[in-house]
Amino acid sequence: MTRPLLVLDHHIRDTCRELMAAGRVSGRALRRALRERYGSVGKTDRVFRVWREETERKSDASRPQLPTDIAELQRRLIVAEEAAKKNLARAERAELRERAHQDRWAVEVDRLRQEVRAQPRYAAEIRALQERVLRLTVELHAERQPRPENT
């Protein structure tokens, strides 16, 4: 009877890292891979402890590391403040352009309305159209009323 190989921590770590390089790995998938490779899994607590350490290490490595150098932080702060000033100035210019655009077209629309109102027959035409709409509305209402049947 052959005795299964002893699965050491570095075997677990290496297997876990290989599986993680291929994608996300679960503790069960790690145990399955250890059984296939070494014929043994090892203690569950030890395997899951190593698995947690490796997944934490990988998530820590994926986070951006902040510089500890004060001069670098100050340089980044100055760059960020300059970018913020530029963005604010650009937004203010865009707002001024939008206001000028709106004002221009408001003046143009007002001018055209006044032109139309200045037409000699404008008010008379409006009154005539309103009277026609009222008359047609009354006729439509009368047509929709049920008619008494002749007996």
Q: Are residues 77 and 111 in the same domain?
A: yes
Q: Are residues 74 and 139 in the same domain?
A: yes
Q: To 5 degrees, how large is the angle CA 135–CA 137–CA 140?
A: 110
Q: Are residues 49 and 78 in the same domain?
A: no
- pLDDT confidence of residue 65: 67
Residue from 14, 5, 22, 2 nearest 47 by CA: 14
Q: Please count the residues of the chain.
A: 151
Say if 83 falls within a structural domain.
Answer: yes
Q: Are residues 49 and 103 in the same domain?
A: no
How far CA 49 is from CA of 16, 28, 29, in Å, comes to 12, 13, 14
**Interval 103-132: pLDDT, tens:** 999 999 999 988 887 887 887 888 899 999
Q: Are residues 52 and 77 in the same domain?
A: no
What domain range includes position 26? Answer: 9-62
Say if 2 falls within a structural domain.
Answer: no
**Interval 50-98: pLDDT, tens:** 888 888 887 766 666 666 788 888 888 999 999 999 999 999 999 999 9
- pLDDT confidence of residue 78: 94
- pLDDT confidence of residue 132: 97
- pLDDT confidence of residue 10: 83
Cβ atoms within 10 Å, residue 51: 23
Overall pTM surpassing 0.75 (yes/no)? no
Residue 33 has pLDDT above 90, yes or no: no
Q: Which helix (H) or strand (E) holds 145?
A: none
DSSP 121: T
Say if 45 falls within a structural domain.
Answer: yes
Q: Are residues 104 and 130 in the same domain?
A: yes
DSSP 25: -
Q: Are residues 113 and 50 in the same domain?
A: no
Structure tokens, 62 = 């994926």
Phi, psi of 43 (to 5 degrees): -65, 135
Q: Which helix (H) or strand (E) holds 58?
A: helix 44-62
| Overall domain count for the chain | 2
